[in-house]
Amino acid sequence: PEQKAQVDEGDRSPKQLPKGVVLGPDGKPCRSCTSVSSWFAMAKQGTANPTNISTTTPPAQVTASLDMPADCPPDVEQLGRSAWTLLHTMAASYPEKASSEQQKETTTFMQLFGKMYPCWVCADDFRAWMKDGNEPRVSSRADFGQWMCEAHNAVNVKLGKKSFDCKKWEERWRTGWKD
């Protein structure tokens, strides 16, 4: 897609969206592409009005801690944590040796995941990463788990987070930590 994330450059008139707010394909702020802090900043400024989106100002105790009530739609971080939990747990329950059918289905799943992930900027980068010599490695649990860990680390690096030690992916997601 030709969409661009909302940029954080130059002087900001009151009508501009706060830093970190990403627009969706419909031109409206994309909840699952935006952190809760940016979303709340937008709601406070009322800058979503050009698109007439409803951005109900959260109650004071919620804005103070920036905690999202549990029954609200997910922001980019909550969605990400849930998605990684699903993906690593899929790798953890993957067969030690996968049949060619399982390999085909898993590759298809990852490609569709890269198309349908609700944060479109995340999905675009994930597809680009897979295309750039990182096709899913799905022959075995060890391969798939390692590949998933590398995929997650690529996002960690992009976001300026620490890389995870992929030798430990199975302890984190399958067996539990050794004492």
Distance of CA 74 to the CA centre of its chain: 11
> Which residue is it, tokens 């680390």?
153
The stretch near ligand FAD (CB under 6 A) out of 1-9, 59-67, 136-144, 164-172 is 164-172
The stretch near ligand FAD (CB under 6 A) out of 9-17, 37-45, 49-57, 78-86 is 78-86
Q: Are 143 and 90 in contact (CB under 8 A)?
A: no
Residue 22 within binding range of ligand FAD, rule CB under 6 A: no
Q: Are 141 and 91 in contact (CB under 8 A)?
A: yes
| Positive or negative: CA dihedral 146, 135, 88, 165 | positive
The stretch near ligand FAD (CB under 6 A) out of 7-15, 54-62, 104-112, 154-162 is 154-162
Residue 88 within binding range of ligand FAD, rule CB under 6 A: yes
> Considering the complex, what minimum distance in angstroms separates the CB of residue 134 from ligand FAD?
12
Complex with ligand FAD: residue 43 or 151, whichever CB lies closer: 151
Q: Structure tokens of 144? A: 């798939």
β-bridge mates for residue 23, sequence order: 29
Complex with ligand FAD: residue 121 or 138, whichever CB lies closer: 121
Residue 141 within binding range of ligand FAD, rule CB under 6 A: no
User: Collapsing DSSP states into helix, strand and coil, what is residue 88?
Assistant: helix
Site residue total, ligand FAD (CB under 6 A)? 21
Q: Which amino acid is at 160?
A: G
Q: Structure tokens of 43? A: 């709601």
Q: Are 108 and 137 in contact (CB under 8 A)?
A: no
The stretch near ligand FAD (CB under 6 A) out of 49-57, 73-81, 99-107, 136-144 is 73-81
Interface residue list for ligand FAD (CB under 6 A): 76-77, 80-81, 83-84, 88, 117, 121-122, 125-126, 149, 152-153, 155-156, 159, 164, 169, 172
